[in-house]
Amino acid sequence: MLADSRSTRTSSALSNAPLTLRDLDHIGLERIKGIGDKAKSSLESFGVFSVLDLLETYPRRYIDRTNMATLRDLQLGVDTLVMVRVEKCRSIQTKNGRVMVTATVADETGKLSLTFFNQRWREKQLQPGIEIAVFGKAEMYNGYRQMTNPVVDRIGDRAARFVPVYPQSEKSRITSWDLARWIEDALAKCEPRGIDDPVPVSLLESHSLIGRHDALRKIHLPDSTEDHREARQRLAFDEVLRVQLMLVGRKAQWERESAGFVHTTKGHLIDGFMSALPFPLTGAQKRTIAEIYKDLSVGKPMHRLLQGDVGAGKTLVAVATMLTAVQGGHQAALMAPTEVLADQHALGIRALLESLKISDEGNLFGDRGLRIELLTNKVRAAERKSILAGLADGSVDIIIGTHALIQEAVKFKSLGVVVVDEQHRFGVQQRSQLRDKAQESDSGLMPDVLVMTATPIPRTAAMTVYGDLDVSVLDELPPGRTPITTSRVSGPLERAVMWESVRERLAAGQQAYVVCPLIEESEKLEVASAQETFDELVHGELNGFRVALLHGRMSSADKESVMSSFRSGETDVLVATTVIEVGVDVPNSTSMIILDADRFGIAQLHQLRGRVGRGKLASQCYLVTQHSDPSPRVEALVASTDGFVLAEEDLRLRGEGTIMGVNQKGTSDLTLASLQHDLELIQWARDDAQRIIADDPTLKTLPVLRDELDLLFSDEDEEFLFKS
């Protein structure tokens, strides 16, 4: 979408036109009053290189000077913000060699002592006479009120009611007060020409958003909380609109420039598959397959994300998708992140399709069974040679494998559909390589791509992280799946009760998983190792039962042997690392014991829990913790089995990382916008981006907006978005 437009772009830097973001990015920090060589060097170490970077250094909070606590009102042990004046400050060295800085501060109602340990620079910061905002808990010490290591912001003599507090860097000695002065000067120097607004006025009016120039002024110099709210909303909207334009634009370009297959979604193969199913499809499966088949029947390559909770029946949807390619004489590939999962898929898909036949003129009977092959690194040379030949001549209909599918020796005759399972476990490059391989085939057409995940994604993240994909959701579990009871276990007594319950289930012929975070003992992390746990259980709690060990460092043959033994029921208990996180399907396994559960993330715990409850027997998941204090992640799992509820909770607890593969130049990709709180803004931006790109795919009528995308997204970002 964003061909380099620099040759046709006219700079406004030497005119009286409003300043664009590129103009601001080209203006050096030395133009700002008070920034000399030393301050410039400090700002650069802080990640600020231009006036644009300076203006996009937003306050992290505001101090309302009319609503401050006084020292007289200070309550002991309660976090409080006070505005005070420094009276005196000194540093001393303690007996054990530590540096201690003490300061006395005051307001018109009283005095307070501040103490800082190993922060010698505070003596220079806290000059007598300056005004500071202090945040912390006051305690009594030697009869005086004292705060130890509080947060301090130098405010200066700002007369405004709302004082912005900026991120500070102890390393570069940049204070909030310094940033406020420099930013105020930058805004004053922008005032004569104003700051250009690339977003159409009609669009801003439809969302009641203020102009960008006003927003940048009000975010730094608000007169009220309403000023700050309006400014933040507008600038956050700009952030998500830019991301959405990149995503939607890339998708539109991909569809424009790529010729795809026109698959037939009715016929003997698909009809035979559907009629042979021993159970009815859920409503969600029917809806999802209809969405996919609509994509497959047109000549544009499909690029769809299928997200569904653990056990929602994604594999069946994937098979229905792949059969459309096979029915039309093409091939299908399913790429899984681990050999264990690839093996599982091969077993399940062969069983689902064993009764189906496909016409074959070279066969005496006129038809043959489907040829479904498994390609992983463990496949022996002779078998590998046969599979590679079958892929090249088209006699292999469906190939299931790991990243072995993207090795150079693999050539397809006509790859029509690609399914990537647990796509978050693959790098962008790996997914892209499989798609590129398809274009090297005889047809030269782009395959239809379905990426699947059993890790439910919050709506806001789905619209941003996966904004260049169409999204289908499986939000309904097949009938017959029994609910899983989840409980937290800590302390010797609770552990004893748990193992007694597990032994009863094993004695009744059921099976169990025990999951540990590490393969070997580690002194650094007090977590159970699989090897140690295996040894302890064999001679202790599970003595007399058949226990096996599975971890990622075992050879492929050993892994397959252990899993085969567990699937067949020859093994009672599988002690494993997270290698079993995805895809393992043993309906007879009804107990999941996760040791050191508070070491895992919510998504991983939910995935592991999903390995049980896959049959008609009631299942139990035990989250074992070393500490009796409840972990928020563990408590979330105990409270809910709904993956979508847990995904929202996970986002809330974890906070937000970057959206792109790499950060935007000089900043994180969402500075103000929040995936947790800005669903409406993100939905607006998504809808607006789709309309803008539909009317003007290369943004020719919006050159300033197009230039911003060129400026703020690196080539790597664009490449990442295109390949996601």
Q: Nearest CA to 262 among 324, 176, 190?
A: 324
| Angle, CA 673 vertex, CA 669 and CA 677 arms, to 5° | 135
Mean pLDDT of the chain: 84
In a domain, 390, yes or no: yes
- Residue where the block lists tokens 């049959």: 615
pLDDT-derived band at 663 (thresholds 50, 70, 90) equals: very low
Task: State the Cα–Cα distance between residues 541 and 279, nearest whole angstrom.
Answer: 39
Is 74's pLDDT higher than 70?
Answer: yes
**pTM of model > 0.95:** no
- Residue where the block lists tokens 């909030």: 176
Alpha helices by DSSP H, listed for 478-554, are 492-507, 530-539
Task: State the Cα–Cα distance between residues 306 and 285, nearest whole angstrom.
Answer: 11
- On whether both 583 and 513 belong to a single domain, the answer is yes
Q: What is the DSSP letter of 552?
A: T
Is 626's pLDDT higher than 90?
Answer: no
Q: What is the DSSP letter of 481?
A: P
User: Could you tell me which residue, 521 or 343, shows the higher pLDDT?
Assistant: 343
Structure tokens at 586: 């043993």
Boundary-marking domain end, from 599, 619, 640? 640
Is 21's pLDDT higher than 50?
Answer: yes
pLDDT-derived band at 666 (thresholds 50, 70, 90) equals: very low
Q: What CATH number is given to the structural domain containing 524?
A: 3.40.50.300
- On whether both 499 and 441 belong to a single domain, the answer is no
Q: How many domains does the chain fold into?
A: 3
The terminus-to-terminus CA distance of the chain in angstroms comes to 16
- What pLDDT, on the 0 to 100 scale, is given for residue 212? 96
Q: Nearest CA to 131 among 172, 82, 74, 180?
A: 82
Q: What is the extent of the structural domain holding 535?
A: 484-640
Structure tokens at 667: 């900043």
Q: Cβ atoms within 10 A of the Cβ of 114, count?
A: 24
Boundary-marking domain end, from 615, 640, 665? 640
- On whether both 435 and 509 belong to a single domain, the answer is no
- What pLDDT, on the 0 to 100 scale, is given for residue 361? 59
- What pLDDT, on the 0 to 100 scale, is given for residue 426? 53
- What pLDDT, on the 0 to 100 scale, is given for residue 158? 60
- Mean pLDDT lowest among 164-178, 197-211, 560-574: 164-178
Strands 110-117 and 144-148: parallel
Is 489's pLDDT higher than 90?
Answer: yes
Q: Nearest CA to 649 among 457, 440, 393?
A: 457
- What pLDDT, on the 0 to 100 scale, is given for residue 497? 95
Structure tokens at 33: 């009053």
In a domain, 186, yes or no: no
- What pLDDT, on the 0 to 100 scale, is given for residue 558? 87
- On whether both 278 and 371 belong to a single domain, the answer is yes
**If you write DSSP's letter for every residue of 362-430 in order, what string do you get?**
TSTTSEEE--EEEE-TTS-HHHHHHHHHHHHHT---EEEESGGGGSTT---S-EEEEEETTGGGS-HHH
- On whether both 347 and 279 belong to a single domain, the answer is yes
In a domain, 668, yes or no: no
pLDDT-derived band at 613 (thresholds 50, 70, 90) equals: confident
- What pLDDT, on the 0 to 100 scale, is given for residue 722? 45
Is 524's pLDDT higher than 80?
Answer: no
Sequence-distant (≥ 6) Cβ neighbours of residue 576 within 8 angstroms: 513, 514, 515, 516, 530, 549, 550, 551
Q: What share of the chain is helix, strand, coil (3-state, %, to 5)?
A: 40, 20, 40
- What pLDDT, on the 0 to 100 scale, is given for residue 303? 85
Is 404's pLDDT higher than 90?
Answer: no
pLDDT-derived band at 661 (thresholds 50, 70, 90) equals: very low
- What pLDDT, on the 0 to 100 scale, is given for residue 431? 54
In a domain, 190, yes or no: no
Q: What CATH number is given to the structural domain containing 76?
A: 2.40.50.140
Boundary-marking domain end, from 144, 165, 186? 165
- On whether both 335 and 446 belong to a single domain, the answer is yes
- On whether both 495 and 628 belong to a single domain, the answer is yes
Q: Cβ atoms within 10 A of the Cβ of 566, count?
A: 24
- What pLDDT, on the 0 to 100 scale, is given for residue 25? 94
In a domain, 39, yes or no: no
In a domain, 675, yes or no: no
Task: State the Cα–Cα distance between residues 609 and 595, nearest whole angstrom.
Answer: 12
Task: State the Cα–Cα distance between residues 706 and 245, nearest whole angstrom.
Answer: 9
- On whether both 400 and 496 belong to a single domain, the answer is no
- On whether both 428 and 524 belong to a single domain, the answer is no
- What pLDDT, on the 0 to 100 scale, is given for residue 423? 59
Q: What is the DSSP letter of 211?
A: P
Task: State the Cα–Cα distance between residues 89 and 134, nearest whole angstrom.
Answer: 15
- On whether both 541 and 611 belong to a single domain, the answer is yes
In a domain, 247, yes or no: no
What is the amino acid identity at position 355? Answer: S
Sequence-distant (≥ 6) Cβ neighbours of residue 712 within 8 angstroms: 21, 242, 664, 665
The residue-averaged pLDDT of 585-612 equals 89
Is 120's pLDDT higher than 90?
Answer: no
The C-alpha torsion from 288 through 294 and 298 to 299, rounded to 10°, is -10
- On whether both 318 and 443 belong to a single domain, the answer is yes
| Angle, CA 95 vertex, CA 91 and CA 99 arms, to 5° | 30
Which secondary-structure segment (H or E) carries 113?
strand 110-117
Is 333's pLDDT higher than 90?
Answer: yes
- Mean pLDDT lowest among 141-150, 160-169, 290-299, 507-516: 160-169
- What pLDDT, on the 0 to 100 scale, is given for residue 97? 81
User: Could you tell me which residue, 68 or 683, shows the higher pLDDT?
Assistant: 683
Is 355's pLDDT higher than 90?
Answer: no
Best-predicted range by mean pLDDT (150-164, 431-445, 455-469): 150-164
Is 635's pLDDT higher than 50?
Answer: yes
- What pLDDT, on the 0 to 100 scale, is given for residue 644? 77
- On whether both 327 and 372 belong to a single domain, the answer is yes
User: Could you tell me which residue, 719 or 587, shows the higher pLDDT?
Assistant: 587
In a domain, 41, yes or no: no
